[in-house]
Amino acid sequence: MPLVPTDHIIGPARAGCSGVGAFNVVQIEHAEAILAGAEHAGLPVVLQISENTAKYHRGLTPLGLASLALARRSGVPVSVHLDHAESEALVHEAVELGFTSVMFDASKLPYEENLAATRKVAAHCHEAGVWVEAELGEVGGKDGAHTPGVRTDPREAQAFVAATGVDALAVAVGSSHAMLTRDAALDFGLIARLRQAIDLPLVLHGSSGVSDEDLAKAVAAGMTKVNISTHLNKIFTGEVRARLTAAPQVADPRKYLGPARDAVAAEVARLLGVLAGH
């Protein structure tokens, strides 16, 4: 099935009160694993490449083109998304490469600056038919939008969405990025109020720190796009570590990257089922 616009995946999921897994690609094995997991589950998926990953690879193009090529030959609907881009130039590059959506993150800026920058990016992306996600947490972003104590205000979210014209909103409801444990305490009441306040898909960042049970509850309360990265990286790295510990003489990276890829694929399939309510 060909690469599809992101709203062709997110829109139906939101209408059906289901969740969509959006998983971060750090290297090509991640993309291969995510797509294998999605095909096994028979469910659509979003491949994400962050600005930090683009910097690691010294540019967005190599991994971006590889992810797009893999998506085009997938057996399930796939979209390719630029995650946490703070650079407008990187957003423009993603649009030119053929990414189907971008997440522009100006949450570190004061509210009015965030609003103006996001509105400008959204206008550019919409001219190219590219779906836009933005982020809104604490006004001013003093501690970052996803520190555990920060919450998105529904009335402010409503005004922000109306002023920027974005297609989805990442909100702060208790999760936090890069958590290594799955014990984040989400505010499900706030998720429900945000769902009522804005007529757009809500996005949960920092979902690696959320338990399976609470992921399902978050989707039931109103979340649609669920971003997961660290949790998969833990599984990938753990499998690599185990393989190298068991066979320290191994030099061929395929001997340990292959099993790590398989482990991530299995977890992606499982998580997609959790989010879809299976």
What are the tokens at 224? 């649609």
3-state secondary structure string, 17-70?
A: CCCEEEEECCCHHHHHHHHHHHHHHCCCEEEEEEHHHHHHCCCCHHHHHHHHHH
What is the domain count for the chain?
1
pLDDT tens readout for residues 215-274 = 999 999 999 999 999 999 999 999 999 999 999 999 999 999 999 999 999 999 999 999
| DSSP-derived pairing of the beta strands 131-136 and 202-204 | unpaired
Catalytic site residue from 7, 83, 105, 214: 83
Q: Which domain holds residue 185?
A: 6-276
Confirm whether 1 is domain-assigned: no
d(CA 129, CA 64): 18
Confirm whether 207 is domain-assigned: yes
Give catalytic status of residue 7 as yes or no: no
pLDDT tens readout for residues 91-148 = 999 999 999 999 999 878 888 898 999 999 999 999 999 999 998 764 233 344 555 5
Confirm whether 217 is domain-assigned: yes
d(CA 232, CA 138): 28
Beta bridge partners of 133: 103, 168
State the CATH number of the domain containing residue 120: 3.20.20.70
Confirm whether 39 is domain-assigned: yes
Confirm whether 155 is domain-assigned: yes
